[in-house]
Amino acid sequence: MTPFVFHLVGPPASGKRTVGLELSRLTGAVLLDNHLFNDAVFKPYGADGLRPIPDEIHALAARVREAGLAAARLAPPDVHQIFTSYLTNRPSGPAALQLVRDVATARGAIYVPAWLECQVDELTRRVPLPERLERAKMRDPQQLRETLASSGMLAPPRDAMRIDTAALSPADSALLIAHQTGWLF
């Protein structure tokens, strides 16, 4: 079987990790959640999801992500992967999208981008939930609003699926991705 590289993209609290867990359960793909890479640096720094992360810490997290992407490119053909990302309109957004596409290309994998969308009011309701503390995720609704206003969200490419995670459960979102890619018939 040709490997799949699923790429779940959405703003904070859109359900990227939760949908990724469901998709992993359905497909057996390895979940490479953005916090898998970030928390290796965020946790030692003491990130609490409330105060901003300094640029120096983000730079260290980028180095960890580079190592993770290098390992992902070396995965055997029977390993399917799920990446999660919040990609902004800043120049780093399209570059980060391309890095995951490059992993798929290097592996000869099928690249599946899925944009998880959710209204800002629902995101601000979700962002302070206690389970977000476990992964040093953003938890301040005002910080979320400011981040979305200043950085925005990278527009989905033409080949991306668009999924409203306020309208679909994580399990149904994962099923939709699996069905639309031909994973489940």
Per-residue pLDDT tens over the stretch 103-117: 999 999 999 999 999
Average pLDDT on 115-126 reads: 96
Structure-token match 């989905």, residue found: 156
Task: Give burial (CB, 10 Å; 0-12/13-18/19+) of 141.
Answer: middle
**Strand 81-85's sheet: what is its strand order?**
30-32, 81-85, 4-9, 110-117, 161-164
pLDDT of 185 strictly over 60? no
Q: Tokens at residue 103, please?
A: 């992993």
Of the chain, the percentage scoring pLDDT greater than 70 comes to 99
Element (H, E) at 143: helix 141-151
156 and 8 in contact (C-beta within 8 Å)?
Answer: no
**Cβ atoms within 10 A of the Cβ of 102, count?**
14
* pTM > 0.75: yes or no: yes
Name the pLDDT band for 173 (thresholds 50, 70, 90). Answer: very high
Whether 125 contacts 19, CB under 8 Å:
no
Domains present along the chain, CATH in parentheses: 4-180 (3.40.50.300)
- Calculate what percentage of the chain has a pLDDT beyond 90: 80
SS3 101: helix
pLDDT 10s digits, 35-69? 899 989 998 999 887 888 999 999 999 999 999 99
Binned at pLDDT 50, 70 and 90, residue 159 comes out as: very high
Q: Which is nearest to 81 in space by CA: 64, 104, 59?
A: 104
